[in-house]
Structure 1
């Protein structure tokens, strides 16, 4: 089990136990956050609630929650939607959560600790400023139902020894294929990639963010750099490490006729071919500027994760906890990605 999963499980257990009694005297300067979950749909499923650092909360950002609480289905069905975070350290937080209506969320598995198709989520997170000793009221409204399944996938080309090797060459043309797959852990309709033209600003015109003449698509894919000890990445203005990615370009050709340039159209696909864009980008969040993307001079060598993100913010990445679990691991979810110097290896899968 990953360190994140262990922490989430420990926090969840602490929230349940801590919500039953008053904190001891030495902890009374801690704050307490309590309120109700307000549902727009039926009270079916468990509700999970999280307190994040202000710049790490979904749906805009992704981070590790500082505190976790839950309201079980049996209480929701009885009309008791109360939740409580006990012993909260004084600080600024953002409250976010979801109702797991179909029962396939699992807070001990990284890619399953998120809402999927049919679940209910808030429009945004709620900012809270917890003061020492304060009992802070805060309700969470869940008005929006998630439409799309998680973009779960496996890579068709499984690499050599469970490792897909790519190079830092600026000229190599490399591609591989991903297949949508539910692995028996996601409920509802069979997962598919719902391909559509991106329109982030809502102007009805397909986006072409990098100006290369190729329209942008959902879902989006990228390789996420996982630096090892001794490997450095650029820092933002507050001294925090940037996220370094290598963009991947889905082959849009099979879908353009069906999409007809209409941002409202979509095509369900089982397979997608992805081309590796031979450049690396450092992504930071800067005060007053928002998301800042900086192109790096070279693609860092080392280990990467392969990520997919859909238009609703659902994500999947490989390798993940499903490939690392002790009981019945999924080999396809343990696949690793490695970038090496071009002089030291072949270009990788799909190279000419």
Structure 2
């Protein structure tokens, strides 16, 4: 009898092994707790109705830390849908609708918000010079929408209110996937202005006075990856209840205004790098969540709660700006008003704002450097100091802008 061909012989060997029905080897859970997490996903369609063109940026937020203007939360994750996949060969006159899928994988149990924007290529429709897609998520100066971009969100199909998405385990411990979570974009949500980029035309030192006045002026930057061209500072009344009258949330008799102002303490320490010195105190990884360990300061009443503080100073717009908010007949102008500059009033009063609904007054103002952030009613923000500071800009491939290294100094 002739010898079996090699391929046939190996096939018989494999068949014999399979016929033994050996028990599979035991599989043990990894020691890395991150790989033992029970995770899920959120997925759906990006739906665009409009003539704006560009990449779609979809952002995932913790519902307990919403983004501006409702809060100061930062994205947990993001997804980019390329313009070619979303709009295909459609010409610029077509308003769609256009659709493309998106997915957030490895999502832990929790409650979430999904927001987004179309990073518009406005050069397709506007004369030069004009904006080009400029979203780069790694830097504070390139991570938000600009004028001409189109906003979007996952909303309730009936009420159009933003949806809070919850991933919760079933009784057997399994996690459901959230599917069909569509993110809707429309031309009515087109961003009207650039981010509130500014520079501070004042001395950085606080001194011994009880207040510090800071003059903020618009800053135009069109260099490298940064394209911001505000020609003025934008002011608007807060009207959360939409009754057509300015709100006065704290009851001090002064109408509330946009932009909101946050003056927050920066990280300190000789061992920190220049980039780390741009981080907020007790948030060295710059993820928007207070570190588990950090600095705490004595409170006005008591020693504190044993947790790292989120130190902010009392600050707001000078009420002199209200003179620009009147119509000729004396009524309040509820629309946006453009002014040449903004004056901030910063008080020598510090708070631990770990719980922003109940900030706790501190016994004294902690010495150190403080960042200044403006928050527009559009949700756009600008902060100094930032990544354009000469000490860090070149390492990131960003333009150096000396006045963007400004920090308020409390002795």
User: TM > 0.5 between the two?
Assistant: yes
> Displacement, 1:111?
3.2
1:202–1:156 distance in 2 versus 1, CA, 3 Å: same
- Secondary structure of 2:178 counterpart: strand
Give the counterpart of 1:136 among 172, 178, 191: 178
- CA-to-aligned-CA distance 1:202-246 (integer Å, 9 cap, x gap): 333333444444433322323112354763257999967445233
- Kindly indicate whether structure 1 or structure 2 has the higher relative contact order, using CA contacts under 8 Å at least 6 residues apart: 1
- Secondary structure of 2:404 counterpart: helix
CA distance in 1, matches of 2:113, 2:337: 35
- CA-to-aligned-CA distance 1:107-134 (integer Å, 9 cap, x gap): 1221321223222222635423165564
1:136–1:270 distance in 2 versus 1, CA, 3 Å: same
CA distance in 1, matches of 2:51, 2:78: 23
CA distance in 1, matches of 2:322, 2:217: 17
CA distance in 2, matches of 1:92, 1:61: 15
- Secondary structure of 1:49 counterpart: strand
Is 1:215–2:255 an aligned residue pair?
Answer: yes
**Aligned position for 1:67:** 77
**Aligned position for 1:343:** none
Is 1:110–2:128 an aligned residue pair?
Answer: no
Is 1:330–2:401 an aligned residue pair?
Answer: yes
**Aligned position for 1:8:** none
**Aligned position for 2:324:** 255
Residue range with higher mean Cα deviation, 176-185 or 236-245: 236-245
> Displacement, 1:318?
0.2
Give the counterpart of 2:367 among 284, 301, 307: 301
Give the TM-score of the pair, scaled to structure 1.
Answer: 0.73
- 1:172-183 equivalences under 5 Å are 172-183=210-221
CA distance in 2, matches of 1:191, 1:105: 21
**Contact 1:30 1:90 (C-alpha < 8 Å) held by counterparts:** yes
1:130–1:83 distance in 2 versus 1, CA, 3 Å: farther
> Displacement, 1:253?
5.6
Is 1:84–2:94 an aligned residue pair?
Answer: no
- Secondary structure of 2:205 counterpart: strand
CA distance in 2, matches of 1:91, 1:216: 33
Is 1:155–2:200 an aligned residue pair?
Answer: yes
- 1:116-127 equivalences under 5 Å are 116-121=146-151, 122=153, 124=162, 126-127=164-165
- Secondary structure of 2:349 counterpart: coil
1:124–1:181 distance in 2 versus 1, CA, 3 Å: farther
> Displacement, 1:139?
1.7
List alignment gaps of at least 5 residues for structure 2: 1-34, 89-97, 122-132, 154-160, 269-281, 283-293
> Displacement, 1:334?
1.4
**Aligned position for 2:347:** 277
CA distance in 2, matches of 1:34, 1:240: 36
Give the TM-score of the pair, scaled to structure 2.
Answer: 0.64
- Secondary structure of 2:334 counterpart: coil
CA distance in 2, matches of 1:62, 1:116: 18
- 1:48-59 equivalences under 5 Å are 48-59=57-68
Which structure is higher in strand share? Answer: 1
**Contact 1:246 1:299 (C-alpha < 8 Å) held by counterparts:** no
